Amino acid sequence: MTRWTHLNGLARRQTALLIVAVLFISATSGNAFAIQRAHRHRILRALHLHGLGRLLWNPMFRASHDSLIRQNEEIDRLDLPRIADDLELEQLKASHDLVPIEENEGLHFDRRLDPSRRYCRPWTRDFVLDLSAVYYHQFHEKIQVNSAVRTVKIQKKLRRHNRNAAPIDGDTASSHLAGITVDLQRRGMTKGQIHFVEYYLFYLNALGLVEPEEERHQWVFHIMVSDRYSEWRQTQDAFEAISPEAPVRPPATVVSAISSSEQ
C-alpha cells in the first residue's frame, strides 16, 4: 500500500492545492521552459492517476451511467425513434415533430454545427429559448448551442473520433438521437455564469423536467428535456434575474414543489 492511500480526504485536498499553487507559480515566474505543454501534460496526468483530477473537477451534474439510463427511459416512455439517417430526419422536420432552433439576441450556434441539425423537439426548443433569454438578461451575453439532434449515422462517425461519445443503441445510447437533447457551450463561462446555469438546472432537475450532465471532455452542458416541460412552462412566470453572486431564485411555485417532494 502506497503512502498516498494513507492520506485522508483533508490531506488529499491540501496536497491538491499545493500542486495547483506550484503550477501557478511556475506559470507566472517568467521561466518559459517551466510551463512547456508536455511538462503540464505530465503533471495533469499525475493528478488524474492519484485521484486529484476529481478534486479539481467538481460539477453539480457529473456525467454518469445512471444519467444515461434515465435519459433513455424518457425516450422509451415517449416512444420516440432513434433517428437513423438524413431521410428520417427530414421526414420528422416536415411533420414538425422536429422544429428549428432560431438564433436571437441571447442565443447563437457553434458555426461548425450543420444547419440541417439545428433542430430538436418543440419542448426542448422552448427550454433552450427560455434559458437563453434569462441568461442574456442576466449577463448580456449569448449562450451557444454546440449540438442538437443527431442521426445514428452521425453518432457512429462521432464515436470514431471521440471515445467518450455515447453509443448508438442500448440503455445508454445518445439521447441526441431522439431530438430531445442539446449541448450548450460551457467553456468560456465565468464561475458565476456556470453557477447561474447550474442552479437554474437544479430546480428543473428536481422536478424531473431535465436531465443535465456537465461533460468534462467536451466542456458542455448536456441537457435532456422532458416533454413535461411544456405543461410546467404554462404555469410559470419568468425566472427572476439577480446578481450572479447570489443563488438563482426560481418562481415560488417551483420552491413549493421542491419543498413538497422533500417531505
pLDDT in the model for residue 236:
80
Claim to verify: residue 18 and residue 124 sit in the same structural domain: no
Domain that holds residue 81: 65-262
Count structural domains, the chain.
2
**Cell numbers standing for residue 189:** 463561462
| Cell numbers linked to 193 | 455564469
CB 172 within 8 A of CB 68: yes
The two beta strands, 181-185 and 99-100, are unpaired
The verdict on 136 and 183 lying in the same domain is yes
Residue 30 C-alpha from the chain's centroid: 36
Same domain, 100 and 203: yes
Alpha helices in the chain (DSSP H): 9-28, 37-49, 52-56, 65-78, 86-94, 122-139, 152-161, 191-206, 228-233, 252-262
Q: Which three cell numbers stand for residue 69?
A: 439510463
Nearest to 239 by CA among 139, 128, 135: 135
Q: Which residues of the chain have pLDDT under 70?
A: 1-57, 158-165, 167-169, 237-263
Task: Tell me the pLDDT tens digit for each residue of 201-239.
Answer: 999 999 999 999 998 777 899 999 999 999 999 988 654
What are the backbone angles phi and psi of residue 129, rounded to the nearest 5°? -65, -40
Q: Please check whether residues 47 and 89 belong to one and the same domain.
A: no
My answer on whether 248 and 224 are in the same domain is: yes
Question: Could you say which of 32, 56, 80 is where a domain stops?
Answer: 56
